[in-house]
Structure 1
Amino acid sequence: MIPDFFEQLPRSQREAVDSAGYRVMRWMAARDVLQARVAKGRIAGPLGAFLAYWLSLAPAKGAVSDLWLSFSYTQDQAKLKLVGGSPTLAHAPLEQALLHLPALRSFWSQELRLQHFVALRTLVPQAWLMDSAQVPPGAVIQGLDAVSWERLPQLRGQEWEIQDAKGQVLANRSLSLDSILTSRPASGVVLKAWYGRNDKEQVVLRSKEAAP
């Protein structure tokens, strides 16, 4: 355990941890709305079919009795990232990819409110749903600046992983329909935080501890 680590973080990072429990709860609620809209066919066209396929692969959502989240903090980059927790979406690469999916930006902005959406995108590691659809001519994969999955030289490095929908790392790093490209978390201090509700039913930070 690292004493006083939380107090040594920049103010913006401490506030991010303080608010993360509430924001993740909003994310969970918005995710339920997305599931319902897709199930009822309220998102039409190619996007609806795309979401229906990927949501069918999503890991089962377990009950959350005690809300806790874990964060990785790298001091050299001054970055705090959500890497685990009791809600499934806190550690599922498919859920991370859905949060960062450009086609869902307006949905998340409306359901989460823009400030919470922006904060979650900063906190949640980016991931990409890899499918067989061709990138349109003149376009690139957002966040990667590549015209196709096969044109990603970073895949040969050590900073990326290819996982299946359940979060299992694919040993052969294959580019297949059901794969998700994720960034390998940098080594750093892991901060674990527990949340609860106060007498006003607000989600607040209860306790935290850090370890190398």
Structure 2
Amino acid sequence: MIPDLLEPLPRSQREAVDSAGYRIMRWMAAREVLQTRVTKGRVAGPLGDFLAHWLSLAPAPRGGSDLWLSFNYAQDQGGLKLSGGSATLAHSPLEQGLLHLPALRSFWSQELRQQHFVALRSLVPQAWLMDPAQVPPGAVIQGLNTVSWERTLQLWGRQWEIKDPQGQILTNRSLAQDSILTSRPVSGVVLKAWYGRNDDEQVVLSSIEAAP
């Protein structure tokens, strides 16, 4: 079953599905390290204040022994993307925003190791924590190339959605407090994969099916 469903995907995408469970577990462990550092005040200055605020809004972590993940695959829309799962990190736009936050790039690279960080950034949909602070003159919001959130909101209805920290889509088109800009899910093949541990306690892909 596993080879048949993954066969149409490029090799890099098949490997991404195969390794996703392990990488999500690494991400969960690194996220706990980030929480501890912020809680103990080890991240100073504006970044520490920013993280303390957003981490206080994060949904309760959820994992469990039975890890499953869902993926959307559309070759013409960015390829394979994580779309959900049993772990909170897999479906929380706030956690996705933290993973893609430029100020945390060195932290994630160190805690996850560069190879896994790059792979996760490719797999996890982009999200932006909409900081009310003004973008400095001459700068743009990384990944969007816009000079303000107000300008970004003009993209509403195209490839973006705005959600609250719990992942609910906001219908008000004005800039809401503590809102998160996310890319719209790709439309394509949906796969649901389960992961377990082998005899060496490694996280491995155990089964996969096409979701309805």
The secondary structure found in structure 2 opposite 1:94 is helix
Q: Which digits, 9 at most, give the CA deviation of each residue in 1:86-140, with x for residues without a partner? A: 1001000000000000000000000000000000000000000002101111111
Q: Give CA-to-partner distance per residue, 1:49-81, whole Å, 9 cap, x none.
A: 000000000001124120010000003346000
Unaligned residue ranges in structure 1 (runs of 5+): none
- Report the equivalent of 2:158: 158
Q: How does 1:22-61 map to 2 (within 5 A)?
A: 22-61=22-61
Letter in 2 for 1:162: I
Using the TM superposition, give the Cα deviation of residue 35 of structure 1 relative to its aligned residue in structure 2, in angstroms: 0.2
Inter-partner Cα distance in structure 2 for 1:186 and 1:93: 15
Task: Give the letter for the 1:196 counterpart.
Answer: G
Q: Are the aligned partners of 1:154 and 1:160 in contact in 2 as well (CA < 8 Å)?
A: no
Q: Structure 2 regions of 5+ residues with no counterpart?
A: none
Secondary structure at the counterpart of residue 108 of structure 2: helix
Do the aligned residues in 1 keep the contact of 2:156 with 2:173 (CA within 8 Å)?
A: no
- TM-score scaled to structure 1, two decimals? 0.95
Aligned residues: percent identity?
A: 80
| 1:205 equivalent in alignment to 2:210 | no
Q: CA deviation at 1:176?
A: 2.1
- Residue 158 of structure 1: how far off its partner (Å): 2.7
Amino acid at match of 2:145: D
Contact 2:73 2:188 in 1 (8 A): yes
Matched, 1:139 2:139: yes
Q: Which residue of 1 aligns with 2:182?
A: 182
- Corresponding residue of 2:64: 64
Distance 1:95 1:39 in 2: 17
Matched, 1:114 2:114: yes
Distance 1:12 1:132, change over 3 A: same
Secondary structure at the aligned position of 1:8 is classed as coil
CA contact (8 A) 1:131 1:176 kept: no
Secondary structure, counterpart of 1:133 in structure 2? coil
> 1:97-112 residue pairs with structure 2 within 5 A?
97-112=97-112
Aligned partner of residue 17 in structure 1, secondary structure: helix
Return the alpha-carbon distance in structure 1 between the equivalents of residues 182 and 63 of structure 2.
25
Q: Following TM superposition, by how much is the alpha carbon of 1:183 offset from its aligned partner in structure 2, in angstroms?
A: 0.7
Instruction: Give the SS at the match of 1:36.
Output: helix
Q: Do 1:195 and 1:207's aligned partners in 2 also have CA atoms closer than 8 Å?
A: yes
Paired with 1:131 and 1:57, the residues of 2 have a C-alpha distance of: 14
Deviation at 1:46, TM superposition (A): 0.1
